[in-house]
Structure 1
């Protein structure tokens, strides 16, 4: 029987682990086969407080993990196949391991950016391909940038990136945008944004580990061309990693876990959620870490109330 089990090892889960380990709660952290969350996909992180010269994303996550382990957190690697939350203690089933029973559960499984799944995309993430404008826009000061997408997030990122880039081009496979009218108007009225509509992305072009363009095909004429670019931002949405919960915890229409305002409490007492799995607005490492702190404190108070 464990006091608490944490699912996920991004900034939220690791911060929760640090706090709970320091409180002698002996947390067990379940990390998947690619631990560290989305931050391990980026290179330099320059907006996390305390690192004036920046830090590599993977190094920051390793430092957090080492800190949690130093205070006594236990890490187990494996896929969480299912959780049973109908009764307390909760049961967590990890592939290849025996069932784990826990008094509390912290869900920090994050959200995955939707990708185009075209050649050259995944292998160039962090080398010119990005899924976060606020994270990486600064690195493209004075550069040509492509934003792929037609929804609100794509319009918002395109507008934001004009603060840095010399040119921002929006690529969308249709002529009509899915974005709300106000977001469309803001983007269309921005003189720094150009448009390539009816264009289907086919391949990310890169040389010497550096993105140089995006190969697209016109959906009307079938003509292919390469749009020159120093960076490509994929803005087609995120998918919260909540499928394994099997609808046991209340979520919104997009699948993000709903928490009580000002807390990390979910619809099930003793189950807490932090990080991007419950945040589709900010999605920053620092806000995720902050919510991980909140989850640890909420969890500790819950256990104290049951003692």
Structure 2
């Protein structure tokens, strides 16, 4: 029986590991198939405090892991397939380790950006293809970029990118946007935003080293078109990694974990959530790390006996 098990090794999980390890809680961290989370797909991170010249995403994650190990956190590799809640403990089913038991669990499995599934997309992530305008917009100052999507998030990111790019071309596979009217109006009124409607992306264009545009099918004519751009931003939503929690009834209709406002408590005592798995708004490394700190402190108090709170309050 472990005291605390942390699921996930992004900024949230690693921060929680650092705090719990320093508190002598001997946390066990389960690394999934993508250790380090989405930041391992990011080449340069320039908005994480403390690194004046920026830092590579994988390097930042490796540094955080080493810091957790230094204080005594233990790391195990495996994919969690199910989490079972008992009266005062949890059973974690892991493909490579079998079942393990824990008094408390912190879920920090993150959310994965939905991708288009077209040739060149995954290969060029971090080299002209991005799923985060807030993270990478700065690198496209005075350049032409494409954003793919038609919802509120796409419109919001398109407007944000105009702070840097000389032109933002919105590509959407339908002739009407899904975004709310107010978000559409803001985008339509932005002179830097242009439109390529009713076009379906079919491939990322590269010169062998960097992204140079997007190949699409014009749904009106049926012909292929090449849209020139220095960067392609995919904004078609995120999918929280919570399928293994389906029997616990702690996620909302979109799959994000419900937590008690102002904390990381779920409605199940001893089960905490931090990072993008419970954050559908900010999704930044620094906010994930902040909630990782919160989860560790909430978890520590729980393990030390502060178990009289009603964790189900305000949670469905």
TM bucket by the smaller chain?
Answer: over 0.9
Deviation at 1:87, TM superposition (A): 3.0
The residue aligned with 1:223 is 223
- Output the CA distance in 2 between the equivalents of 1:145 and 1:156: 15
Cα contact 1:3–1:103 (8 A) shared by 2: yes
The residue aligned with 1:63 is 63
- Output the CA distance in 2 between the equivalents of 1:267 and 1:131: 31
Deviation at 1:71, TM superposition (A): 0.5
Which of structure 1's runs of 4+ aligned residues deviate more than 4 A?
A: none
Any idea what the Cα deviations from partners look like across 1:133-173, whole Å, max 9, x if unmatched? 00000000011100000000000000000000011000000
Give TM-score scaled by structure 2 length: 0.96
Q: How many residues align?
A: 307
Gaps of 5+ in 1: none
Cα contact 1:133–1:157 (8 A) shared by 2: yes
SS in 1 for 2:296: helix
SS in 1 for 2:211: strand
Gaps of 5+ in 2: 308-316
- Output the CA distance in 2 between the equivalents of 1:36 and 1:212: 28
Cα contact 1:249–1:267 (8 A) shared by 2: no
The residue aligned with 1:285 is 285
- Output the CA distance in 1 between the equivalents of 2:121 and 2:97: 34
Deviation at 1:306, TM superposition (A): 5.7
- Output the CA distance in 2 between the equivalents of 1:207 and 1:114: 25
SS in 2 for 1:105: strand
Any idea what the Cα deviations from partners look like across 1:77-136, whole Å, max 9, x if unmatched? 011111101432200011121311000000000000000000000000000000000000
- Output the CA distance in 1 between the equivalents of 2:274 and 2:105: 11
The residue aligned with 2:143 is 143
Cα contact 1:249–1:268 (8 A) shared by 2: no
What is the Cα-based RMSD across aligned positions, in Å?
1.0
Q: How does 1:38-187 map to 2 (within 5 A)?
A: 38-187=38-187
The residue aligned with 1:265 is 265
Any idea what the Cα deviations from partners look like across 1:207-252, whole Å, max 9, x if unmatched? 1320001000011210111000000000000000001112404222
